[in-house]
Amino acid sequence: MDYSVAVIGGGLLGASFGWGLARRKIKTIVIDQGDNAIRSARGNFGLVWLQSKGVGMPEYARWTHQSTREWVAFSEELEATTGIGIHYDRCGGYILCLDDAMQEATERSMSTLMTSLGDHAYDCKSLNYAEVKEALPLVGKIAGATYSPHDGHCNPLNLLRALHKGFIMMGGKYHSNCTISSITPLSGGGFRVTDESTGTTFSAEKIIIAAGHGSAQLGTQVGLDIPIFPDQGQVLVTEKRGPVLRHPTNFVRQTDNGSFMLGPSSQKVGFNTDTNPEVLAEIARNCCTAFPFLSQIKIQRAWAALRIMTPDGFPVYQQSDEHSGAFSFACHSGVTLASTHALQVPKWIEQGAIPKQYEAFHPRRFHV
């Protein structure tokens, strides 16, 4: 076998798995597409976020909570070894509610979630307008917010860069500009992977499909059903300003270089990565309601990216029944989950199985 593990996909998931595997001294290759692939990892907002996650699936809330706990040590190790600043700040985050209806819905949702978590409920409270105004003096006239000290943000592009750099520093092999045409299970175990663009092949004992939107087609070759579809999100980035907003919010966050990122949006437009000015205008309106000072700030650039969305929005993790060395992972929270993807998942791969407690993430939940 050329490699112990082949990771197909070099975005936030693939790079996290690769880094974690190389860290465990497992001989790994990460295979990536080229520049003009969909590359959802580029569209990321940068939140490392716990609040509101897992309504309807407490396992996901617990998994996310574990991720946010492991993020500090994870980012410190990445920074120390690669010299690339991740700028992780776990300062607490706010879900701003622009009107009463949103405030009620958000509070209800939070209460349902905490109930379902029982002993695993975490620190999260709701605030009225006066309380939000005291915490965030620049906020506009909104209904209120919910706040959790577990939330934070980072520089997602630097995160991806650092994972790639660290992976290579630890001896990982990285191939880009590839198009995987086939993954063939070998009779003695293991898989043969063929890169269509160069015609080269290599073998690996285990494979992880973490190819974002390209995963479904690859999954069929090793008996994995990966039910994902694109959910388009658009983002605005503004010119840089001196730091005035430390805490990330659901609509706006200020990055480490001073620019503001504005979102979110969600559209079902297939694999379309074109921005839509009407959607952007709505983002702008919401963000100006949240923070009126933004109205005079210039927009630097805008883009659209395709979230990897599953039918219920929760991750899909699975191992093939037919070929036990084949795994697939798909989710839309590649930044928040980067720590556990890097520190926990490689252990599972090494042991050869996804632990039973993560059964909830198996896509058979959709076949009820």
Closer to another protein by Cβ: residue 129 or 293: 293
Least spacing, CB of residue 278 vs another protein, in Å: 7
| Interacting residues with another protein between 38 and 67 (CB under 8 A) | 42
Assess contact for 292 and 98: CB atoms under 8 A. no
Question: Nearest CA to 189 among 175, 205, 174?
Answer: 205
Least spacing, CB of residue 175 vs another protein, in Å: 8
Tell me if residue 144 falls in helix, strand or coil.
strand
Closer to another protein by Cβ: residue 293 or 348: 293
258 binds another protein (CB under 8 A): yes
Least spacing, CB of residue 281 vs another protein, in Å: 4
Of the CA atoms within 13 Å of residue 310, those in its CB half-sphere come to 21
Least spacing, CB of residue 257 vs another protein, in Å: 8
DSSP state of 120: G
User: How far apart, in whole angstroms, are the C-alpha atoms of residue 83 and residue 315?
Assistant: 31
The CA distances from residue 29 to 36, 115, 242, 301, in Å, are: 21, 43, 41, 34
- Residue 348, classified by CB atoms within 10 Å of its CB into exposed (0-12), middle (13-18) or buried (19+), is middle
| Interacting residues with another protein between 134 and 163 (CB under 8 A) | 138, 157, 160-161
User: How far apart, in whole angstroms, are the C-alpha atoms of residue 336 and residue 69?
Assistant: 10
User: How far apart, in whole angstroms, are the C-alpha atoms of residue 298 and residue 236?
Assistant: 10
Residues 165-204 as x/- pattern, contact with another protein by CB under 8 A: ---x-----x-xx---------------------------
270 binds another protein (CB under 8 A): no
Expressed in angstroms, the distance from the first to the final Cα of the chain is 39
User: How far apart, in whole angstroms, are the C-alpha atoms of residue 20 and residue 22?
Assistant: 6
DSSP H or E run through 78: helix 58-82
Least spacing, CB of residue 14 vs another protein, in Å: 13
278 binds another protein (CB under 8 A): yes
Q: Which of 274, 322, 356, 368 binds another protein (CB under 8 A)?
A: 274
Options 49-57, 119-127, 190-198, 268-276: segment touching another protein (CB under 8 A): 268-276
Least spacing, CB of residue 261 vs another protein, in Å: 12
Q: Which residue has the tokens 């989710």?
A: 331
Residues 292-311 as x/- pattern, contact with another protein by CB under 8 A: -xxxxxxxxxxx--------
| Interacting residues with another protein between 320 and 359 (CB under 8 A) | none
Closer to another protein by Cβ: residue 17 or 251: 251
Closer to another protein by Cβ: residue 30 or 342: 30
97 — phi, psi (to 5°)? Answer: -110, 110
Q: Which of 51, 67, 238, 250 binds another protein (CB under 8 A)?
A: 238
Closer to another protein by Cβ: residue 126 or 276: 276
User: How far apart, in whole angstroms, are the C-alpha atoms of residue 48 and residue 66?
Assistant: 12
Counting every residue, how long is the chain?
368
Least spacing, CB of residue 297 vs another protein, in Å: 5
Interacting residue ranges for another protein, rule: CB under 8 A: 34-36, 42, 138, 157, 160-161, 164, 168, 174, 176-177, 236, 238-244, 257-258, 262, 274-278, 280-282, 284-285, 287-288, 293-303
